[in-house]
Amino acid sequence: MPEKIPLAVAIITKNESHNLPDCLKSVEFAGQVVVVDSGSTDQTVKIAKDYGCDVFIEPWRGFGPQKQSAIDKCRYSWVLVLDADERIPDETASVIKKIVLNPSPVAAGYSFPRKNYFQGHWVKHLGWWPDRIMRLFRKELGQMTPSTVHESVVVAQPVEALDVPIEHYPSGQFSKILMKIDQYSTLGAQEAWAKGRKASIWMAAFRAKMAFLQSYFVKFGFLDGVQGFTLAITDAINKFFKYAKLNELNRQNKSAESRKR
């Protein structure tokens, strides 16, 4: 067993039995791993317990609040936030160990470039590389944004950019991609509606078209071959359904107000 360091890893899960073992193996050097699960029906919870994680079962509240709940349960000052489909390669683990054991008096957190492996291909364009993310930080100086989708870590003091990566292995199965689009577009529409934004079907179509053009041409997605095309189409579909669902929420709200009159 590798020597443990005073670092807590915060992970949220739901039906991640296919991803979680490799994720947990990659952070075996951490003194604590907190897993907050939101109702898995597979072996996720058992796997987490077998690895010695501190496991909590909680209702789903959105990505930001759920991850913050995991962070709140961490007992060390240094926290690393990971998704179940992410991995810490050996070179990155070495750098994290040095940071935690010999912390800088200045930096409150560290960002990493993220490498994305999709359908057998490391994605190099579409904004997917270096895809910089803030994940390692001092618990007392940072927190998750409360967003239900597209959440991020924010800290109160300077952040240093590291060159070593976090690896990300998103599912390439189209059935799972469609499920993720449905989830993310719903959350995005609900968040936009809560802010008072409006949309039409024509806006949804325009947003989808622009998303594809930007991903595939402006961000050189065509250089990533079939995977680049698939990801550009995926982004366009997600945008269409986000704004189509926002339009639906607007219509439902207008209809409800009319019935009250």
Q: Do 97 and 224 share a structural domain?
A: no
Instruction: Outline where DSSP puts E strands in the chain.
Output: 5-13, 30-37, 54-57, 78-83, 86-87, 109-112, 114-118, 121-123, 133-138, 142-144, 153-155, 159-161, 166-168
* Final residue of a structural domain among 143, 168, 193: 168
Tokens, residue 11: 């992970």
Cis peptide before 89 (omega within 30 of 0): no
Query: Domain range spanning residue 194?
Result: 174-260
Tokens, residue 52: 């010695």
* Final residue of a structural domain among 117, 147, 168: 168
CATH, residue 35: 3.90.550.10
**Coil, helix or strand for 248?**
helix
Q: Do 98 and 30 share a structural domain?
A: yes
- The CA distances from residue 245 to 17, 55, 60, 203, 237, in Å, are 31, 34, 21, 11, 12
- Report pLDDT for 255: 84
CB < 8 Å & 24+ apart, contacts of 219-222: 219/125, 219/126, 219/127, 220/125, 220/126, 221/125, 221/126
Give the end-to-end CA distance of the chain in Å, rounded to a whole number.
68
Q: Do 152 and 61 share a structural domain?
A: yes
Tokens, residue 207: 């947003």
The structural domain count of the chain equals: 2
- Report pLDDT for 210: 98
Q: What is the pLDDT along the chain (261 residues), one digit of tens a residue?
A: 678 999 999 999 999 999 999 999 999 999 999 999 999 999 999 999 999 999 999 999 999 999 999 999 999 999 999 999 999 999 999 999 999 999 988 899 999 999 999 999 999 999 999 999 999 999 999 999 999 999 999 998 899 999 999 999 999 999 999 999 999 999 999 999 999 999 999 999 999 999 999 999 999 999 999 999 999 999 999 999 999 999 999 999 888 877 776
16-32 pLDDT, tens digit per residue, is 999 999 999 999 999 99
- Report pLDDT for 41: 98
Q: Do 197 and 245 share a structural domain?
A: yes
pTM above 0.75, yes or no: yes
Q: Do 236 and 107 share a structural domain?
A: no
Q: Do 119 and 50 share a structural domain?
A: yes
Q: Do 185 and 164 share a structural domain?
A: no
Q: Do 48 and 93 share a structural domain?
A: yes
Contact 118, 231 (CB under 8 A): yes
Q: Is 28 exposed, middle or buried (0-12, 13-18, 19+ CB in 10 A)?
A: middle
Q: Do 80 and 61 share a structural domain?
A: yes
Q: Do 158 and 56 share a structural domain?
A: yes
Q: Do 108 and 159 share a structural domain?
A: yes
* Final residue of a structural domain among 115, 150, 168: 168
- Report pLDDT for 22: 98
Q: Do 151 and 253 share a structural domain?
A: no
